[in-house]
Amino acid sequence: MRCEVVAVGTELLLGQIVDTNSSWIGEQLALIGIDSLHQVKVGDNFGRMEATIRQALERSDAVICCGGLGPTQDDITREVIAKIMGVEMVRDDAIAAHIRNIFEGRGRPMPENNLRQADVPDGANTIEQMPGTAPGLMCPVGDKMIYAVPGVPHEMREMMEGTVLQDLRRRSGETSVIHSRVIRTWGYGESALAETLADHVNTLDESGHATIAFQASGIEGIKVRVTAKAESHDAAEAIIAAEVELIRKAIGDHIFGYDDETMESVVLDALRDRRLTVAAGESLTGGILASRITALDPAMKVFKGAVVSPVGDLDDEDGAVAAARAARDAIGTDIGIAVIGPRDPEAHPPGTVFAAVALPDSDHAKTVALPGVLSRMRSYAVITLLDLLRKRLA
């Protein structure tokens, strides 16, 4: 079964809002075995919206329209779908009452234009979930279906998870399960990683048991997505677990985490498990590391603070070790970490930085050359330093 996603809104075309809804919907469709071969964006123009949705219906069995269900004059998704269905708009009194109750519950008067949201194409069904004032719609067009959901992400997701995905799966007759796991890596380039795993990827392509995809994600490293399709969740999990183990053996400690784990979450968990505290010297990174870690440790029970100060007399690996020790001793933690740059960049390869970890009983340092302009290099330096700490803790 094929399902196309049409994101509605001129603001999407102008770049004023990033379309994260389509990517999330595409991921959810893949997980239930629904093919999504096209995703398109269209502005708030009746003619262009009608042409776009009609084209999507020609190519697919179902269309998900996201956005354009608000109360203002440019919210015309309902009217466009009614035109495609060949029906008139009708007022749904239950929806109208629900919208009034929402405003009354907030102690606010309801603008009359909000009642436009209670107008639905004749023959359409409203989606049960309605976290806001915009009802979602299920609109049959012959043997195909148009689903209309709001552009507000949390409202869209509630309707998708509560009704739309279940209805699509029922219509498709799909009984198998598609499951994925993301392997998070650091320190391996995308091409080098693909080359290392090339033989294995080819074997999987021939067997059809699973697929492997690579995604370069900047300071989040390279992601390796392993996907399997099977008759049950447990069967898919078993296939993925075997593939993940093979990949782990191939690339070793370049793997720092899985799925939604980040470098800082993995490091914080390792420190908590060992009941260790850490402080950072941030002459190069200027507080970026502290910002990332305290987002996950706001009470600062593990990460105790950072020292943002100029580099000392040494600007090499010894200087990084000295900065890590200084941060540890100044704040009184078990571990100190620091990353510094050379005072004379001309004397080193571009992007050279020195990272160090001062453990209770030993020191460790490394020199790396990082890509990008200063802002990007500083972010790379943070993850490189945390990765050095992760490996030392292991």
pLDDT tens by residue, 245-272: 989 999 999 999 999 999 999 999 999 9
Mean pLDDT for the chain?
92
Please write the tens of the pLDDT for every residue from 316-331. Answer: 999 999 999 999 999 9
What's the pLDDT score for residue 199? 83
The answer for residues whose C-beta is within 8 angstroms of residue 83's C-beta and 6 or more apart is 46, 50
More confident residue, 163 or 374: 163
The model carries a pTM of 0.76
Domains of the chain: 3-172 (3.40.980.10), 177-258 (3.30.70.2860), 263-393 (3.90.950.20)
Interatomic CA distance for residues 290 and 123, integer angstroms: 56
CB–CB of 340/307 below 8 Å?
no
Least confident of 16-20, 227-231, 325-329: 227-231
- Say if residue 209's pLDDT is above 80: no
**Paired sense of beta strands 125-126 and 3-8, if any:** unpaired
